[in-house]
Amino acid sequence: MRNHWVMDYETLVDCFIGVFESHQNDDRRVFICSKHNNDYLQLLDFLQENVENNEFHMSFNGLAFDAQVTQFLIDSSFFDLTGDQIADQIYKFVQNNIIPQQNNKPFPKYPYREWEVAVKQVDLFKLNHWDNPAKSSSLKWIQYSMDWYNIQEMPIHHTTSIETVEQQDIVLDYCINDVKSTKRIFELSKNQIRLRNTLTQEYNINLYSASEPRISKEIFAYFLSNSLGIPKKELRQLKTQRDQIVVDDIILDYISFKTPELNRILSEFRKIIINPLETKGSLKLSMFWKGVKTDFGLGGVHGANDPGVYKSDEDYVIMSSDVTSFYPNLAIRNGWAPAHLDEDKFCELYEWFFEERKKIPKSDPRNYVYKIILNSTYGLSNDANSFLYDPEFTMRITINGQLSLMMLYEMLCTAIPDCTPLMQNTDGLETKIPRKYVDDYLRICSEWEKITNLQLEHDTYEKVILADVNNYIALTEYKEFHKDVWLDLRSKEPDYLYKISGGKFYIAMTKCKGRFEFKGLALHKNKSSLIVPKAIYNYFIKGIPAETYLQRNRNIMDYCIGNRARGSWVFASTCIVDGKVVEEELQKVIRYYISNKGCKIIKKNTTDGREISTEAGRWLQTVYNTHEDQDWESYGVNDVYYLNAIDKEINNISRSVSQLNLFA
């Protein structure tokens, strides 16, 4: 097996450090150029070996930084310079050619493009799409999300001259920590890296550092170019610009309603004219029907009943119905395509991905690739930099999607007595109906499928713990499974619950959404106070009181909170020490927990002087950027804060006085 290297550089004014660690083991190479070391020749030899052996560098944001430095070193000749002089040359290259480009978004022009870099790259930052504004994440933030033991930021400013070996060692330790955490990200991304390697080899497109949207764009372009007989270079120039989108012109003929409330909404839709360049607020409608407020927007429809715990029983059942691949199938079944592309060939290719995916096992990487293509194509149609760009195509999907779904909503709620709508959300809905009407429910759904030429997938819920349309916990009804399946799934709690009754094995699946999610969270998301959703889940699903659960879960990381300061904002802590106020400046990304003793953390704006407490009220905090194993009492966690947070959620849902008030 070839060796590849997880790596990172630190570039200070007179000190350069490069750390490389094998992706297979603990083999580590360190190269330093400074007043105290000159490893320049050894580094060049190492980089040459990487090129000759086809070894990759795996980094965090490497394409925009580390790979640039690597190629600069390969292209330069510093044989007559001292270590600190070499460090100075690297520093000037970075400050003059790399740093200024980082603000030239979305198209920075770095000295070396990806194909011009001699050492092949896997950029974990770009691969995970953390360069996207919606997922924007620094390495420090990902370290926090991974519960990394040390999320310390660079302790020595890059303009500081490194005078002592001790200072140099501080920078080296920092660099090693970054490499080790990057290696952990690599380990978590292994399947994604293998997938990109397979795709790169199969399609002869460099996708080693590609995000999912880019994979979709590149592979769809590959197939579409062949189908249309248009070179990819020409295909990439195609797009459809729109001055306006008249909604009445794009509503499907079958869209119709019977109730005044929904006919009013349809009438309002028909009046709308959308400016594709200024879409914010251009579509914002609401209605109140069947006790539920429902909101319509450019992204889809959202509605939810009052917060509460909704249960199935002998007389009633909660039905859940989702449209299969809703947005892709709306385009496929209605023959839609971006206006600059041939409709028949576009839809034929789009449908081919859909049908092929159904034939391929989920264990096959192609299944996942086709899923990416199906889901991303809609989004790319609203990306002005994509060859799929046509905002009318996007609006056709979202507007007809929500109106079609509301047709099903109306058909069910008007035909089934005592039908209680619970949620409507983009591609599906949940309703509580009398069990004796399940056959009628499925018949109505079948009628809707014939009208729309779409397909529905159904499930039944035993319980829905509903805060709002984006935040809920759902538990499916228990279904009988074969013993072997039961044994496999029972280890996957909290996704599955299980029980044995009468010698038979039953499994139910749980789904946690929004702020109630706590397992398998994407690393860019904020996992602060994970103890709260865990306790809420155990309270509503397993009947475990919150205080009991807290006593059982003494993982300090579950109590930690992450926060980050951007732009002109900084953090500072204020503590009372020996009767005196002591203020300390903190780093840009911080991890802390609420404690019985500690400090107050303030977020300050260095431009206008504004100050915001990260935790309002009397709560004290302990900064916890570096993890240390201690006995629980030594942490000094304030359980009351977390119990109050849990209590607030439970009271919001149950609308009853919770026993947690006893501990406030």
pLDDT for residue 494: 67
For the segment 156-196, what is each residue's pLDDT rounded down to a tens digit?
Answer: 999 999 999 999 999 999 999 999 999 999 999 999 999 99
The C-alpha angle with vertex 72 and arms to 69 and 75, in degrees rounded to 5, equals 155
- pLDDT level of residue 1 (50, 70, 90 thresholds): low
Average pLDDT, the chain: 93
**Distance, CA of 461 to CA of 310 (rounded, Å):** 9
Q: Give the pLDDT band of residue 397 (cuts 50, 70, 90).
A: very high
Gap between the Cα atoms of 405 and 323, Å rounded: 9
Q: What was the pLDDT predicted at 542?
A: 92
The per-residue pLDDT for range 201-216, each reduced to its tens digit, is 999 999 999 999 999 9
pLDDT number for residue 659: 41
Give every CB contact of residue 151 below 8 A, 6+ residues apart in sequence.
Answer: 140, 143, 144, 589, 591, 625, 626
CB 198 within 8 A of CB 215: no
Domain boundaries, the chain: 5-208, 531-663
Residue 137 backbone dihedrals phi, psi, to 5 degrees? -150, 130
Q: What is the Cα–Cα distance from 632 to 609, expressed in whole angstroms?
A: 38
SS3 for 440-478, per residue? HHHHHHHHHHHHHCCCEEEEEEEEEEEEECCEEEEEECC
Q: How buried is 664 (Cβ within 10 angstroms: 0-12 exposed, 13-18 middle, 19+ buried)?
A: exposed
pLDDT at 381 over 90: yes
pLDDT band at 489; cut points 50, 70, 90: low
| CATH topology (fold) of 5-208 | Nucleotidyltransferase; domain 5 (3.30.420)
Tell me the whole-structure pTM to 2 decimals.
0.92
